[in-house]
Each structure stands twice: as C-alpha cells, then as structure tokens.
Chain A
Amino acid sequence: AQSVSQHNHHVILSEAASLELGCNYSYGGTVNLFWYVQYPGQHLQLLLKYFSGDPLVKGIKGFEAEFIKSKFSFNLRKPSVQWSDTAEYFCAVNFETVNAGNNRKLIWGLGTSLAVNP
C-alpha cells in the first residue's frame, strides 16, 4: 500500500538552529510531493511542492526540500529557524498511477510538531 512516513514526531529547537524533517514514501512510480504547515490556530497552508525538474525546491519563509528519488525521500530543511516557525509540519504525496494518472489525492504523513524556543 502507498504510504508516507515522517520520522520525527516532535522536535524542539532553539532559535537559529538548523532544521531537517524527514519524509519518506513507499512508491516507486511517479510522485508529486508536498510539504504543508499548520501554524497554531490557522489553516493548513502549502510550504512547497515538487512535481519535476530541479530536485531542490524552495518554498516560503526560507524553507527548502530536496527530492532524492533513489531514497524515496523529500526532506524539509531550513538553515536557521525562528520562534515563528513553531507549527505542525505535514508531508503529503500524490501517487500517480497508470489508471488514475494524477488524481490529486494526497496521502499524508503523521506530521511533525516543531517547537522553537526563543
């Protein structure tokens, strides 16, 4: 079955520390990859996405992610976190199939709760 796993469920960092959140998926075919963020009391919003091309993608607020096909991974990074990055981070994957193509359905990881101490 298609699945998405996020390795870190709770992360606590101090401001200015570097961040890397892991995301792996189970499928060897064509995938479209997303990172969403949910700030306290707010909607889920898109941080960045990868469909094709340069495997290093840049998103909002200084975040970036690297797609490594051989490792089935799409890890999220930020060189220096801020207190305002405190949020829940979700990795989501759309698995394209021969029959359904890109059906825009997303399979989600469990999420990582990030707390940044000032």
Chain B
Amino acid sequence: SAVISQKPSRDICQRGTSLTIQCQVDSQVTMMFWYRQQPGQSLTLIATANQGSEATYESGFVIDKFPISRPNLTFSTLTVSNMSPEDSSIYLCSVVDLSTDTQYFGPGTRLTVL
C-alpha cells in the first residue's frame, strides 16, 4: 500500500492569505485526488491531479481558488488562495493503486482561517 505524507499537518492562517499544502507519496502513482472535509460534512472531491495533464476540477471548485501542481508521479501541491473562514477544513490527498482499485489517503491538513 502507498504511504502518503502531507505538510503542514495543521495551520492557522489569516483571511486573504494563501497556503500551499504538499502531498508526497512513497511510490509512483498516476491518479491523485484532493478532497476537502468541512466540519460535520462528508469528504468532497476538489479535483483530480494526474501527472502530465491539467488538474480536473469538480463543480464548485475553480483553479484560481485551488491551483494544483503535479510535477511528477510522487508529489503534488494544492494551494488554497485568498482564504476566508469558510475555507477552514481538513484537506486530504489520496492516490489510487490501479492494481487493486483502492484509494489510499494522507493524514490530512487541518486548516483554520481567522
């Protein structure tokens, strides 16, 4: 199974600033997802980040607000731009093991925006 790490694990940020979250995987993976989990809600998919192509965003999420980079098969970043308190959430990255069709998740980044 893939081992995923995320940085930072948590942060408290001021309104209007931006935060970049890093996701590092211990093996090469093609498919990677970024999710958001707001308090009391289920996981919501933000975008699919496949290496070699532009990220594909889900309805309600746009590149200007959540730019994503995927420079290689083991790394990705998600930036939360121009933050507001409504962006306070846990942000998770996941990867897909295509041989078993199983998603593995990182530990998450807990973001609080004041």
Q: Residues on A close to B: CB < 8 A?
A: 4, 32, 34, 36, 42-46, 49, 51, 90, 92, 102-106, 108-111
Residues of B within 8 A of A45 (CB): 105
Q: In the bound complex, how far is the Cα of B102 from the Cα of A36, in angstroms?
A: 11
Known contacts being A32-B101, A43-B105, A43-B106, is A105 close to B42, with CB within 8 Å? no
B45 at the A interface (CB under 8 A): yes
Q: Is the pair B106, A105 in contact by a Cβ cutoff of 8 Å? A: no
Known contacts being A43-B107, A111-B42, is A105 close to B102, with CB within 8 Å? no
Residues of A within 8 A of B45 (CB): 105-106
Q: Give 8 A-B pairs besides A43-B107, A108-B42 with Cβ atoms closer than 8 angstroms.
A: A42-B107, A43-B4, A43-B105, A43-B108, A44-B92, A90-B43, A104-B33, A108-B43
Residues of B within 8 A of A108 (CB): 42-44
When C-beta atoms are compared, the residue in chain B nearest to A110 turns out to be: B42
Among candidates B31, B42, B103, B107, residue contacting A109 with C-beta atoms closer than 8 Å: B42
B53 at the A interface (CB under 8 A): no
The distance from the CB of A104 to the nearest CB of chain B, in whole angstroms, is 5
When C-beta atoms are compared, the residue in chain A nearest to B105 turns out to be: A44
Q: In the bound complex, how far is the Cα of B41 from the Cα of A109, in angstroms?
A: 9
The distance from the CB of A31 to the nearest CB of chain B, in whole angstroms, is 13
Q: Is the pair A105, B101 in contact by a Cβ cutoff of 8 Å? A: no
The distance from the CB of A62 to the nearest CB of chain B, in whole angstroms, is 19
When C-beta atoms are compared, the residue in chain A nearest to B92 turns out to be: A44
Question: Interface readout for B33-64 with A: 1 if CB under 8 Å, 0 if not?
Answer: 10000001111110010000000000000000
Q: Is the pair A51, B42 in contact by a Cβ cutoff of 8 Å? A: no
